[in-house]
């Protein structure tokens, strides 16, 4: 009979005899929903599979987050190149990303992504499937997630506000790098840049952050101690960067074999006043005081010479 059927239909006997290689052995409902694999202006659907139900759920959550990130986030980097287009605000801000390789955006770092959970799903459906070839099971989990144009616009607005704020921080740090008047601000700027580097998920701004960090670190090597006046028991000096007077909250280390009661206090106009007792200074040997600061691994030092009173 099989041979006769095959001769009449033109179908090979092995195809007629073949049986399904997979079987749904368990599901969350008797009928598979018709929304699976569909999207519209108010919803989208994702389906993921994994060896366990919980793993499939986690994969679906990751896919939902990535879908929303792809819909709203600008300047998301890919491993090679990306082209973005953003329409004007006031309309729905539409963002399109065309990727030539897998996206490497750190989506979990976007603040609004944290509110995306499976509890917000409109419908879910899962199946436990047996692979008859090898006797293994897998789970397929599907989610219908609400995502309207209004929700998209709201998320875009929230993201744009955050992103513009971070960009403004970077712009300000760029302006200040050659205007600093306090050495302590170098360290503070580097900490702020570390945070921006963790936030930015496009290669262009991450590279800009790294370049700016190098510029700030280079300032440590430009600090110099300029002696402005000296007299017995007293020395006035300034800290300088590229000819610009700067200040610091850091106290210097003072080293001398012949001066006593050394201390540094802030003076007028951002200057520093070193006072000391020179009464035990040697009348025949050089008497010195070393003024030393340490910033960012850079040692800044100056030696002053004095005579006994």
- What pLDDT, in 10s, does the model give residues 105-135? 444 455 667 778 899 999 999 999 999 999 9
**Residue range 205-226: mean pLDDT, rounded:** 95
Domain co-membership, 120 together with 195:
no
If asked whether residues 131 and 62 sit together in one domain, one would say yes
Between strands 22-27 and 123-131, the pairing is antiparallel
Look at residues 204, 221, 238 and tell me which one is the last residue of a structural domain: 221
- Let me know whether 82 and 114 are in one domain: yes
Domain residue limits at 229: 223-306
Residue 10 falls within a domain, yes or no?
A: no
Find the CATH number of the domain harbouring 264.
Answer: 2.60.40
Q: Are residues 141 and 164 in the same domain?
A: no
CA 222/CA 62 separation, integer angstroms: 48
Cα torsion angle, 34, 38, 42, 46, sign: positive
Domain assignment present for residue 85? The answer is yes
Beta strand spans in the chain (E): 22-27, 43-50, 82-86, 95-99, 123-131, 136-146, 223-231, 234-241, 244-246, 253-255, 260-266, 272-277, 287-295, 298-306
pLDDT value of position 215 = 97
Q: Give whichever of 52-56, 83-87, 108-112 has the largest mean pLDDT.
A: 52-56
Is residue 120 located within the same domain as residue 215? no
Residues 39, 140 within the same domain: yes
Tell which of 153, 179, 204 closes a domain: 153
Q: Are residues 29 and 145 in the same domain?
A: yes
Cβ contacts of 142 within 8 Å, gap of 6 or more: 33, 36, 45, 46, 47, 60, 124, 125, 126
- In the chain, how many domains are there? 3
Please indicate, yes or no, whether the overall pTM of this predicted structure exceeds 0.85. Answer: no
What is the structure's pLDDT at 9? Answer: 45
Look at 100 and 110; give whichever has higher pLDDT.
110
- Beta partners for residue 272, in sequence order: 237, 266
User: Considering the domain boundaries, does residue 3 fall inside one?
Assistant: no
Q: Let me know if residue 129 belongs to a domain.
A: yes
Whether residue 56 sits in one domain with residue 143: yes
């Amino acid at each position: 009979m099989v041979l006769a059927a095959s001769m009449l239909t033109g179908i090979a006997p092995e195809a007629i005899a073949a049986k399904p290689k997979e079987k749904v052995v368990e599901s969350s409902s008797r009928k598979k929903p018709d929304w699976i694999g569909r999207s519209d202006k108010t919803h989208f659907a994702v389906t993921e599979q994994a060896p366990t139900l919980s793993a499939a759920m986690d994969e679906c959550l990751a896919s939902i987050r990535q879908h929303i990130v792809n819909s709203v986030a600008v300047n998301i980097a890919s491993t090679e190149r990306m082209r973005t287009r953003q329409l004007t605000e006031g309309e729905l801000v539409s963002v399109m990303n065309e990727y030539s390789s897998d996206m490497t955006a750190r989506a979990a770092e976007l603040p609004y992504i944290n509110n995306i959970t499976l509890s917000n799903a409109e419908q879910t459906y899962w199946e436990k499937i047996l692979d008859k070839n090898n006797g293994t099971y897998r789970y397929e989990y599907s989610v219908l997630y609400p995502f309207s144009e209004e929700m998209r616009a709201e998320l875009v607005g929230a993201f744009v506000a955050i992103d513009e704020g971070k960009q403004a921080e970077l712009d300000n740090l760029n302006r200040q790098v050659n205007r600093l008047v306090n050495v302590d601000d170098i360290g503070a700027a580097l900490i702020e840049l570390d945070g921006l580097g963790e936030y930015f998920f496009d290669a262009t701004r991450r590279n800009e952050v790294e370049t700016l960090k190098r510029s700030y670190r280079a300032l440590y090597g430009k600090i110099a101690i300029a002696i402005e006046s000296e007299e017995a028991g007293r020395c006035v000096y300034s800290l300088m960067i590229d000819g610009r007077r700067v200040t610091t909250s850091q106290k210097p280390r003072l080293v001398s074999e012949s001066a006593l009661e050394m201390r540094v206090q802030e003076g007028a106009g951002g200057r520093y006043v070193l006072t000391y007792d020179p009464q035990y200074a040697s009348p025949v040997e050089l008497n010195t005081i070393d003024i030393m600061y340490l910033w960012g691994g850079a040692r800044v030092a100056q030696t002053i010479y004095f005579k006994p009173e």
